[in-house]
A and B are shown apart, each in its own frame.
Chain A
């Protein structure tokens, strides 16, 4: 039971304010302004084990709330199950998986690394790459984004836009038509379809209020509603469900799918004519580092290379791998992947996420929107030669994201298909991407007849005299060069969610204090959830809030931060709480985009 009185919130604990001028009042930055204790703390409020995304956001939330946090990780790097790793770190990680060091969390890891990365004098270095174990995209209107801004963690990070969503169909990548202009100028769309599509888009933006439309479909797949009520055709249904909604199968229920479709549409044009962002240099691995740093500034103590050996809820003592110990006044929270040996309370990790990550020696620029360096390709159910039931999602990042060198790209493929079928689906999707890339590369040349001649047996010959020296290397390649290929299965206690339903994350429902398992090293420990198959960050904040409430007693002061520094003059707080005035650094500015009209604006 957590009946102890709540500690004063950050706002209440503000005596040590640095008063520099009347209008410049900032919260106490314990991690910077207080002298560091000479030894490891003997007593902390909360011990957090593992520096993954959820644990790191939790650490920051608790530190700023006023809790004294000790945050450890058994690895020598941040990120845990959402880390961003170099090639060498991936090799080590794969070995750990195969030695069953992450029992119940990962298995079946297979790695291929090309010799051009392997050798010390190879073309590429291990640290040229930053590969995420659980890559994610960030919606422009989402709770995590608002916390990033409120906590100022966004200042540690760089974000870029992602506008290209492709649906794979009929052996081709169809680009998503997501703006009004695109819908109306698309020559292939019949007028009637355009009308119906616009009607639906108008409906979905405030669907909850229009019960008469969707109530009869509340327990049926959205697909039925789209076909019966809005008379949409397969191509549009697929685009709405899988590219815009990023749903996982045809059965996704009506309310869940509507929520997901609206997530995309209401994120559109918040920062420009796109809905999705991603962080440079790595995804959740970078964000984790940012939140850990924020927690440290708030006063949390950090210790990598440290393992939790056991926790005793009676004495409240936590023991560590190096023999040290700490008294924990409130709670111990651990990631399943860093559970102590002899743990017996870990919630079952019954959902599988299958992942295939490839580094390809191709820029893949043709898949990106101009000036961007990322794309998402979705393979809807039935689109692959394996006749897949669940979608395969591919998140593609080019060198502009700074996670791979120029001329290469990283393809993150994943599916929530359970069992051995999953790997076949992933392979089929990879093959389709490969084929498409080869085709696109070669047609560029074949279009100009004078550049290409055909040999006596019909083989293609490049007219190298006309092409010149630089084009000589542009001979269509038969095969795509893979620099790295990594397969693994990850397990989680939460399904790739339909809507952000807090009950999915409340995996420690019984108050474990009164149910001690004899001999267990983890009685009384709260477990976080491993990342699910969800491609966006949308589950993170919900999961953190559930834990925060269990520890603090309420979520009233969750990231209730008020940094009154120079950036903090709200522009239109009522409209958008994230809005704060910018400073005037010339080099940081981005040219404002051409304002694109939003689809929902249209009167039909």
Chain B
């Protein structure tokens, strides 16, 4: 299984968390790896390797801002080693796209990763679906405008509704595919070289069974 860190960005109240919760909860029955954990949310998806036609499982470790973006209080830790980012705006709020663009710039300066995959996501599509005449809001950000910006910056682009679930799965699917495409050669190479444990980190949840206290009472 391949694991990637995905961070959420965008102004408060554009619905960052709801997109992720929709994704994680909806997919729960289908995939058992889903978790809403204390540290971050995680969810697996399956994609197809275009060459070998084989299924590849990708696990997203999804970091929510937990409100720390409100007063510009996101820590360097949040951005570190991120592989992908969802930058969210609200399709009914005109200024939210400009703010999303600000977050894209912030990301590019804060994340060292060259292959960072950024996906621009317009949320709250349901508010301007027009099906419920009375509650319908005008769409304040035209798709073409956001899409133009996205392609200019090399970002993925989607419009979704976290409320109805429309488009949510595709966001993560397309991020997964793009990540896999950009990483698979690198991954194959590193596997051949080191096998497991390339980083030499100690996993704190895994004490060795050879515990010092057990042998010298």
Interface mask (B62-83 → A, CB under 8 Å = 1, otherwise 0):
0010111011110111101000
A289 touches B213 (CB 8 A): no
Nearest CB in chain A: distance from B198 CB, A: 7
8 A Cβ contacts from B39-65 to A: 39-40, 42, 59, 64
User: Which of B131-139, B153-161, B167-175, B200-208 participates in binding chain A?
Assistant: B200-208
User: Which of A220-228, A302-310, A417-425 participates in binding chain B?
Assistant: A302-310
B214 CB-CB contact with A under 8 Å: yes
Question: Given contacts A289-B75, A561-B38, A586-B1, are A36 and B28 in contact (CB under 8 A)?
Answer: no
Give the residues in chain A near B76, CB-CB below 8 Å.
77, 289
A159 touches B67 (CB 8 A): no
A270 touches B205 (CB 8 A): no
A270 touches B212 (CB 8 A): yes
Nearest CB in chain B: distance from A144 CB, A: 11
CA distance A303 to B71 in the complex (A): 5
CA distance A153 to B66 in the complex (A): 14
8 A Cβ contacts from B158-217 to A: 195-208, 210-217
A29 touches B36 (CB 8 A): yes
A154 touches B204 (CB 8 A): yes
Interface mask (B2-16 → A, CB under 8 Å = 1, otherwise 0):
110000000011000
Closest chain A residue to B40 by CB distance? A155
B72 touches A304 (CB 8 A): yes
Question: Given contacts A304-B71, A304-B73, A565-B35, are A588 and B203 in contact (CB under 8 A)?
Answer: yes
Nearest CB in chain B: distance from A16 CB, A: 12
Interface mask (A270-286 → B, CB under 8 Å = 1, otherwise 0):
11100001001100001
On chain A, the number of residues with a Cβ less than 8 Å from chain B's Cβ atoms is 88
Give the residues in chain B near A304, CB-CB below 8 Å.
71-73
Give the residues in chain A near B202, CB-CB below 8 Å.
159-161, 271-272, 277, 590
CA distance A265 to B213 in the complex (A): 9
Nearest CB in chain B: distance from A326 CB, A: 14
CA distance A296 to B66 in the complex (A): 6
Interface mask (A146-185 → B, CB under 8 Å = 1, otherwise 0):
0011011111101111000000000000000000000000
Give the residues in chain B near A555, CB-CB below 8 Å.
none
CA distance A565 to B200 in the complex (A): 25
A294 touches B210 (CB 8 A): no
B92 CB-CB contact with A under 8 Å: no
B108 CB-CB contact with A under 8 Å: no
B39 touches A153 (CB 8 A): yes
Nearest CB in chain A: distance from B54 CB, A: 16
Chain A: residues with CB nearer than 8 A to chain B?
18, 20-21, 24, 26-27, 29, 31-33, 35-36, 38, 77-78, 140-141, 145, 148-149, 151-156, 158-161, 202, 205-206, 265-272, 277, 280-281, 286, 289-290, 292-294, 296-297, 301-306, 371-372, 400, 561, 563, 565-567, 575-576, 578-582, 584-593, 595-596, 598, 600-601
Write 19 A-B pairs (CB below 8 A) sorted by A numbering: A20-B28, A24-B35, A36-B70, A149-B204, A156-B39, A202-B216, A270-B208, A271-B207, A293-B66, A293-B68, A297-B66, A303-B71, A565-B36, A579-B205, A579-B206, A579-B207, A588-B3, A592-B208, A598-B216
